[in-house]
Structure 1
Amino acid sequence: MLRSILILIISLLTIPVANAKQLAITLDDAPRKADGYFDGPTRAKTLIENLEKHKIGQVTFFATTQSLNQEGLERIGTYNKAGHIIGNHTHSHPNFLETELSVYQSDFLQAHHLLQQFDNFKPYFRFPYLREGETIEKRDGMRNLLQKNNYQNAYITLNNYDWYIEELFQAAVKVGKPVDMERLSKFYVDVLMASINYYDDMASKYLGRSPKHVLLLHEMDITALFIGDLARRLQREGWEIISLQEAYQDPIAKYQLDQPIKYNPGRIGEIALAKGQKKNLWHYTLDESYLEKRFNQEVLLMSDH
């Protein structure tokens, strides 16, 4: 009898975990320019400390190898040694819309060879700007090259403009505008959660379920500062953070959009587009003027306060 009660209690305790929505965290553009609020080593140290403090687990950094000077090498080395995955984000971050296929392929391969030095390098490729080729020739040319080199297309499902929040923050720091860091954290987390929930709702509409998601972030100062605050909010709202490898076990990892598109909203947006949704494939928070207005209102400390 006691055994049965214990089993029942254990099963009840595990239900929330089993039903948790799941996402993997990825950070693009590493080692990204760092000459504002933090320098590169301080950003890396802060980010690693907050990932460990909040028990976030393994994340994936997508590296652009043209930034691997001595400091950049050390920064990626820090992430690598901490057990995080290093993926390919090209050598020079080209815009595929403005780049010939052969040039783009060479850029990808250059990064591929340079990234072999990291023990935790894995063959995941994140297209810069999420642009996968606007013609059949370019799209299929990269699909074939990825397949030849045993790469996974490192698609995302949860899109946002975190990079623009960083730009607003760094611009304020540069000219000495007072920034309320608590408000900045709240603004950052609120904006990200709004887009996360939007794309999860879109997934439920078209898939009938919440898939294993992939969150797009960037290797930036605000990420280092507030990744723990984001993780706490995710946990409160029923999310579980998983590895990228686990996320790509979801069936949508095998999905491929038939027609080439110029601008890619992410895998969930692709699926919605294929099922007939033409508008609102990007959440309303993915808008620079919207974010700037909220940043000025909610984050900057006004002189008359």
Structure 2
Amino acid sequence: MKLLLCALFILMCFSVHCIPHKQIALTLDDSPRAAGGYLDGPTRAKMLLSALKEHHVHQVVFFSVSEHLHGEGLARLKAYGDAGHLIANHTHDHPDFNTVTLAQYIESFEQADRALASFSTMTKLFRFPYLREGNSLEKRDVMRKVLADHGYRNGYVTVNTYDWYIENQFQNAIKAGHIVDLTRMSRFYVDMMMQSIEAYDALAVNVLGHSPKHTLLLHEMDIIALFIGDLITALKQKGWQIISPLDAYQNEIATFVSDEILPFNPGRIGEIARTQGVTKGLWPQALQESYLEQQFQLRVLHAQSPSN
């Protein structure tokens, strides 16, 4: 009997302590993003900070666009920094690297670097707008050198999402006079995010042999303020641990550098997958606008009851 109890105790210890959680950091682009739709800016910030605190997420990173640092936008970003969240560089005016000159892009990066330097939680991570890292060899390599010269690291994502498209669906429905059931909206949003997370984690396990420390692409907008708590709850229920972005960017894949020129970048896991000849699944179904539109119409606007 004693041997049986000891075996059961060892098994319980192993299950609790030795099986690692899957880990993911929350990263929010475009802050302080334009407000004035369903929520105003101060309400968005208050709801978002409250939800993060309530769900014990102590640090996320806001990749910030410095042209919005005035008035309410400046106060909003300051509130995020004062709460201990990281502020990082997302350029001054969110240019598309595929359509502007290298000189214009560097200037936008440097202008944001100067503007964001006063934030106490500013960290030298840079996220390329649209995840586009250069559509020519010169653009790609020169910008990599510029980042290194300024002491920056690439704020890559491992989980790409189209949450911005879901936000547009939500705001457009409100403007059109639809009464959007927020419970249905939350279920739809969380499901689409989890589909992307699980698809990219499965791809990572396929190409890396394990689940890495993930970085989730989100945007600072109304649906994140409304539903981030529900997303965190869903992640934890699925065995995910929310970690600091600083921890996530200490991952072994942080040093990976693609030799390809990728005008359209699926994210770090997709980059690695391409080096192994994988070309399918780099943009999962939940990143397809037609699928999101169909699901939004079916599950949010046309649902007949909260259970649908």
TM-score, L = length of structure 2: 0.94
Taking the TM superposition and a 5 Å limit, the aligned residue runs for 1:1-305 are 11-12=13-14, 14-15=16-17, 18-300=19-301
Cα distance in 2 for residues equivalent to 1:168 and 1:304: 20
Deviation at 1:303, TM superposition (A): 8.9
Report if the CA contact (8 A) 2:92-2:112 is conserved: yes
Say whether the 8 Å CA contact 1:178–1:301 is kept in structure 2: no
Distance 2:101 2:256 in 1: 25
Amino acid at match of 1:80: G
Structure 1, unaligned runs of 5 or more: none
What code does the residue aligned with 2:131 have?
A: L
| 1:182-204 Cα distance to aligned partner (Å, 9 max, x none) | 01100001111011000000000
User: Shift of the alpha carbon at 1:304?
Assistant: 11
- 1:117 aligned counterpart, secondary structure: coil
* Structure 1 counterpart of 2:99, one-letter code: E
SS of residue in 1 equivalent to 2:266: coil
Task: Give the match's secondary structure for 2:123.
Answer: strand
State the distance in 2 between where 1:223 and 1:114 align.
25
Aligned equivalents of 1:235, 1:205: Cα separation in 2: 23
- Amino acid paired to 2:288: D
Q: Secondary structure at the match of 1:299?
A: helix
Structure 2 distance, partners of 1:129, 1:304, is 36
8 Å contact kept, 1:180–1:301: no
Post-superposition offset of 1:121? 0.3
1:181, distance to aligned residue in structure 2 (A): 0.5
Aligned to 1:26, what secondary structure does the other structure show?
strand
SS class of match (2:301): coil
**Aligned mates of 2:301, 2:137 — CA distance in 1:** 46
- Give the superposition deviation at 1:259: 1.4
3-state DSSP of counterpart to 2:33:
coil
Displacement after TM superposition at 1:280 (Å): 2.6
8 Å contact 1:257–1:271 — kept in the other structure? yes
Identity %, equivalent residues: 50
In the TM superposition, residue 46 of structure 1 has moved relative to its aligned partner by 0.4
Structure 1 residue 14, shift from structure 2 partner: 3.8
Q: Deviations over 1:72-119 (max 9, x none)?
A: 100000100000000000000000000111110010000000001110
Query: Are the aligned partners of 1:195 and 1:283 in contact in 2 as well (CA < 8 Å)?
Result: yes
Point out 4+ residue stretches in structure 1 off by more than 4 angstroms: 7-10, 301-305
Q: Does structure 2 retain, via aligned residues, the 8 Å contact 1:24–1:243?
A: yes
Larger mean Cα displacement after TM superposition, 213-222 or 170-179: 170-179
Return the offset for 1:56: 1.6
Superimposed CA distance per residue, residues 215-235 of structure 1 (whole angstroms, 9 cap, x where no aligned partner): 000001100111110001100
Cα distance between partner residues in 1 of 2:67 and 2:247: 29
CA distance in 2: counterparts of 1:161 and 1:26, whole angstroms: 14
5+ residue gaps, structure 2:
none
Task: Indicate conservation of the 8 Å contact 2:203/2:281, yes or no.
Answer: no
Distance 1:278 1:45 in 2: 41
Cα distance, 1:11 vs structure 2: 3.7
Q: RMSD between aligned alpha carbons?
A: 2.0
TM-score (norm 1): 0.94
Distance 1:202 1:176, change over 3 A: same
Give the Å deviation of 1:68: 1.0
